[in-house]
Amino acid sequence: MLCDYNCDDIKLEVVMQMGKSSLPDFDLFLPDWIALLGKCTDWRTKRLLEESMSMIQDDFQAVIVARDHAEYHPELYKQILESGKSQNDPTRFYKIGLEALEKIPVKLKIRSEIALLTAEYSCMMNNSYGAEKCWMEAFESNSSVVNYLRLRFLSKNWDDCSWRVGKIIDIEYHKTMSMKDIPGGYYRNNFLGENALYKNDHCTILFWEKRFDEVIKLGLSEKKMLGWSDTFMKQGLALFLLLLYEGDIYKADLYSMFRLAIYECGFDSKDFYKGTDIEIQKDKYSLFVELFDKWRTEVSVPEEDKNIWIRNIQILIAQRVDAIMEANRRNYYNECVAFIAACGEVMESRGQKGAKQSLMLSYKKEYARRRSFIQELRNFGFRE
> Domain coordinates of the chain in residue numbers?
212-384
The single-letter code of the amino acid at 361 is: L
Assessment of whether the complete model's pTM goes beyond 0.85: yes
- Report the alpha-carbon distance of residue 241 to residue 341 in Å, rounded: 11
Contacts of 324 (CB under 8 A, 6+ apart): 225, 226, 332, 333, 336
**Given this model, what pLDDT does residue 53 score?**
75
Q: What is the pLDDT of residue 14?
A: 53
Note the pLDDT of residue 191.
52
Q: What is the pLDDT of residue 183?
A: 54
Closest C-alpha to 34, from 44, 24, 23, 48: 48
Torsion of CA 67, 71, 73, 79, to 10 degrees: 50
Tell me: the pLDDT tens digits for 309-318? Answer: 999 999 999 9
Q: Is 192 exposed, middle or buried (0-12, 13-18, 19+ CB in 10 A)?
A: exposed
Q: What is the predicted pLDDT for the residue at 286?
A: 97
pLDDT tens figures, 245-268: 999 999 999 999 999 999 999 999
What span, in angstroms and rounded, lies between the C-alpha atoms of 161 and 133? 10
Q: Which has the closest alpha carbon to 242: 340, 380, 343? A: 343
Residue 10 phi/psi, 5-degree rounding, is -70, 140
First to last CA, the chain: 74
Which residue positions in the chain have pLDDT lower than 70? 1-28, 43, 57, 181-192
Task: Supply the pLDDT for residue 18.
Answer: 54
Determine the pLDDT at residue 8.
55
